[in-house]
Amino acid sequence: MARNIELLSRRNVAVPRGVATALPIFVSRAQNAELWDEEGQRYIDFAGGIAVLNVGHRHPRVADAVRAQLDNYMHVAFQVTAYEPYVELAERLNALAPFSGEARTLLLTTGAEAVENAVKIARAATGRPGVIAFTGAFHGRTALTMALTGKVAPYKRAFGAPVPHVYHLPFPVPHHGIEVEDTLRALHYLFAADLPPEDVAAIIIEPVQGEGGFHAAPRELLAELRKLCDEHGIMLIADEVQTGFGRTGRLFGIEHSGVEPDLVTVAKSMGGGLPISGVIGRAEVMDAVEPGGLGGTYGGFPLGCAAGLAVLDIIEDEGLLGRADAIGKRITGRLHELAQRSDLLPIGHIRGLGAMIAFDILESRGADTVAINGAKAVTMRAAEEGLILLSCGPSGETIRILVPLTASDAIVDEGLAAIERALRA
């Protein structure tokens, strides 16, 4: 570990401690679902750069598309001179939008930037300030997205007063004691006590919560939110930054519900490893903003557009939506087997859509009570076993799995075997 230790020492001097790194490993190269550190140690990657690599590390078609674009131009700024890759990617996304009717797409750089712009657009379209989000949600670390994020530590602590006009509802998780009825009751209390619906611009929700623990939004909740939004002229925003581009077995996670949003935020796996994001929305909503009100210096930068177009082709040509379902069934089947083992740490609440899978470390076998911060030790042991694995959840109890959809069955099985070893009590 000499090289990793040396680099870690340099990192601790050069980088502020507020930027956390989960594992003391420094990568030197990566391919598909594998990576190697600076000392030549090989790892299976079940993190995917936090849901960025649905098509794997350095997919050849993404790399080729970026090289071809690099030979033409790297940056001109779409607000100065336009270019076809931006328009083509917008056209492709508009055609794939998870709602009926004409669509428009704004291209940006990061997921937080996409969320901020979705809220801006909703406010412009409605003329209202209020935004409703959910406990456990993660929407970003900028001022507005930090306010939307439904978790204080470490995202809000010490950063001063939050951006106003943001409200939170309890997200339904039955084993946390919160049902859909509780969420809807809280919404009606909010409307009655603090925020009249005619002051609400948008309700924003992740079809599957990411940082909050990979809990899927129940269809009945999404349907009721859609009904209330229609009744009161509120925009429904689906934050698909983590769930988008095939991870759940559909191009967008909200498609599982049959509920149509007004605006969709996208990022992460959209670029196959390059930073690009966007807002896809109903045409009349998107066009509510006057010229110059939207954009960004690097928004929809040419290399990212080229990568995004390649990603859409790969998802279709390689059948990655079906592959996500197959990987998900393979993983959950094995996890259910491990949950029956008395020689392993107790696990439960196995859940997910497609290949967006999670499980909790429990206090005791067969109980609902989770082990607070129980996932951290498992991820560290997994790394010792050659597996990159991430934790999440409101109490640090959840292990999340985000293996690239291009991973072979052999790689998936190798990663699951490492999880088994990491769970040995």
- For the stretch 179-228, pLDDT in tens is 999 999 999 999 999 999 999 999 999 999 999 999 999 999 999 999 99
Q: CA-to-CA distance for 153 and 156, rounded, in angstroms?
A: 6
pLDDT for position 100: 97
Check pLDDT > 70 for residue 310. yes
Give the model's confidence band at 366: pLDDT under 50 very low, under 70 low, under 90 confident, else very high.
confident
Phi and psi, residue 263, nearest 5° = -135, 145
Residue 205 DSSP one-character state: E
Task: Taking each helix axis as running N to C, give the angle between helix 409-422 and helix 320-339, from 0 to 180 degrees, rounded to the nearest 10.
Answer: 30
DSSP H helices, 100-175, are 111-126, 143-148
Indicate if 78 and 211 belong to the same structural domain: yes
Q: CA-to-CA distance for 165 and 199, rounded, in angstroms?
A: 9
275: cis peptide before it, omega within 30°? no
**For 319-346, what is the mean pLDDT?**
97
Residue 364 DSSP one-character state: S
Indicate if 221 and 369 belong to the same structural domain: no
Indicate if 166 and 307 belong to the same structural domain: yes
Percent of the chain beyond pLDDT 70?
A: 100
Indicate if 275 and 385 belong to the same structural domain: no
Strand, helix or coil for residue 373: coil
Host domain of residue 175 = 63-317
Overall number of domains in the chain: 2
Indicate if 149 and 236 belong to the same structural domain: yes
Give the model's confidence band at 368: pLDDT under 50 very low, under 70 low, under 90 confident, else very high.
confident
Taking the model in full, what pTM does it have? 0.97
Give the model's confidence band at 1: pLDDT under 50 very low, under 70 low, under 90 confident, else very high.
low
Across the chain, mean pLDDT equals 97
Tokens 């690239």 belong to 404
Give the model's confidence band at 425: pLDDT under 50 very low, under 70 low, under 90 confident, else very high.
low
Domain boundary among 259, 293, 317: 317
Indicate if 169 and 85 belong to the same structural domain: yes
**For 71-84, what is the mean pLDDT?**
97
Indicate if 197 and 342 belong to the same structural domain: no
Indicate if 271 and 368 belong to the same structural domain: no
pLDDT for position 160: 87
Indicate if 164 and 304 belong to the same structural domain: yes
Percent helix, strand and coil across the chain, each to the nearest 5: 40, 20, 40
Q: Cα angle vertex 210, ends 207, 216, to 5°?
A: 35
The residue among 160 and 290 whose pLDDT is bigger is 290
* 354's tokens: 């497609």
- What one-letter code names the amino acid at 80? V
Cα separations in angstroms, 140 against 144, 306, 376 = 8, 25, 22
Indicate if 212 and 133 belong to the same structural domain: yes
Domain boundary among 280, 295, 317: 317
Give me the CATH number covering residue 85: 3.40.640.10
Domain boundary among 259, 285, 317: 317
Indicate if 299 and 192 belong to the same structural domain: yes
Strand, helix or coil for residue 9: helix
Summarize pLDDT for 242-296 with one digit per residue, the tens: 999 999 999 999 999 999 999 999 999 999 999 999 999 999 999 999 999 999 9
Indicate if 325 and 405 belong to the same structural domain: yes
pLDDT for position 77: 97
Q: CA-to-CA distance for 298 and 323, rounded, in angstroms?
A: 33
Give the model's confidence band at 153: pLDDT under 50 very low, under 70 low, under 90 confident, else very high.
confident
Give me the CATH number covering residue 50: 3.90.1150.10
The candidate with the shortest Cα–Cα distance to 286, out of 95, 115, 106, 128, is 106
